[in-house]
Homo-oligomer: A and B are copies of this chain.
């Protein structure tokens, strides 16, 4: 036996998991969930043509995928009216965030994000020895002015901003983001996570020049395109930033069928429109269900809705636990005061029927557990 000589950084890291998966919870409870509304997956699924493309590619899976992601990058470039040199494709936004943090952050480097924002970004920052500085939400919105002011204060190398936001679903117009960027300090890269932007109103995507070295934009096929399990994300940015990913990325890391599926999904605008319509319908339904139970929702530009349970985090957690116990996979924000909410992904009618059926009982249980009455 020998000593394992991990790096001091690796030695210091906790073996944390950013999220516990629903399968883990299903194994713990000994039964599958009746509805899967916790991870903002798109239950309406990908374009049937994309499914077909992936099925066809399964027979070719003996071949490695193209390490350059050539066809997908070129199609994305045409889609966005930019050059392929502005695009890097990776193993989901999670994978790309890992590479990005690795390129910029070493021991002690400052990074800014919002209290309660995407934990996987924080996981990567901690994993490369960065120091996180957090600012609170403002009225359930991420607060660009506060984020950028904090970035200036701590000399941050990266500042993370999701627009639309997860877990609240709130958003700023792209023009507001661009205006706020006037206060972005020099030498601080804005990581603008637009994972949900295809679910948002026109004008939410930041109208920036793709060659602007002040920011990198993250996009994904996991949400509106319905391919979370395929692991395909991409980043848009200046060529000198994008090309740096080639120094560290897993060049042969992309699944070949996923490449084919994403390429086909991108070309099926009708299906995307169909999904957008379904999401819109589901958001309205979730709002109705909340109102039927005397609760309100936070307006959402995503494929999920935060329901304000009207009390504190302890109460919302009791509601969440009761929903999970009744067979629904749901999650909630981590930080106060946003943790007064539970977060419900847009489901099909049958998924939301199950939620509608379970919510009154869950609220009742929570009220009893927290010893109060509405």
Interface status of A318 (Cβ within 8 A of chain B):
no
Taking the closest CB of chain B, its distance from the CB of A18, in whole angstroms, is 6
B2 contacts A188, C-beta separation under 8 Å: yes
Q: CB of A1 within 8 A of chain B? A: yes
- Give chain B nearest CB distance to A199 CB in angstroms: 14
Binary contact track A63-83/B, C-beta < 8 Å → 1, others 0? 111111010000000000000
- Copies of this protein, total: 2
Q: Flag if A62 contacts B229 (CB, 8 Å).
A: yes
- Residue A2 contacts which of B14, B18, B213 (CB distance < 8 angstroms)? B213
Contact of A261 among B1, B45, B58, B240 (CB under 8 A): B58
Chain B residues within an 8 Å CB radius of A175:
none
Give residues of chain A (153-193) contacting chain B, Cβ–Cβ below 8 Å: 157, 184, 186-189
Q: What is the interface of chain A mostly: helix, strand, loop, or mixed?
A: loop
Q: Which residues of B contact A95 (CB under 8 A)?
A: 250, 253
**Complex Cα gap A228–B62 (Å):** 5
The answer, yes or no, to whether A371 is at the interface (CB within 8 Å) is no
Q: How far is the CB of A104 from chain B (nearest CB, A)?
A: 6
A30 contacts B by Cβ under 8 Å: no
Query: Which residues in B have their C-beta under 8 angstroms from that of A256?
Result: 229-230
A228, B64: Cβ atoms closer than 8 Å: yes
Interface residues of A in 1-29 (CB under 8 A from B): 1-10, 13-19, 21, 23-24, 27
How many Å from the CB of A257 to the closest CB on chain B?
A: 6
List residues of chain B with CB within 8 A of the CB of A17.
Answer: 67, 246, 251
Chain A residues with CB under 8 Å of chain B are 1-10, 13-19, 21, 23-24, 27, 36, 39, 41-46, 51, 54-55, 57-68, 70, 91-92, 94-95, 98, 102-106, 109, 120, 127, 157, 184, 186-189, 212-214, 222, 226-231, 240-241, 243-244, 246-248, 250-258, 261
Given contacts A9-B106, A23-B70, A55-B55, 20 further A-B contacts (CB under 8 A): A6-B104, A7-B105, A7-B109, A10-B102, A10-B247, A15-B246, A24-B70, A36-B63, A39-B63, A44-B62, A54-B257, A60-B229, A61-B227, A61-B230, A62-B228, A94-B252, A230-B256, A230-B257, A231-B255, A257-B257
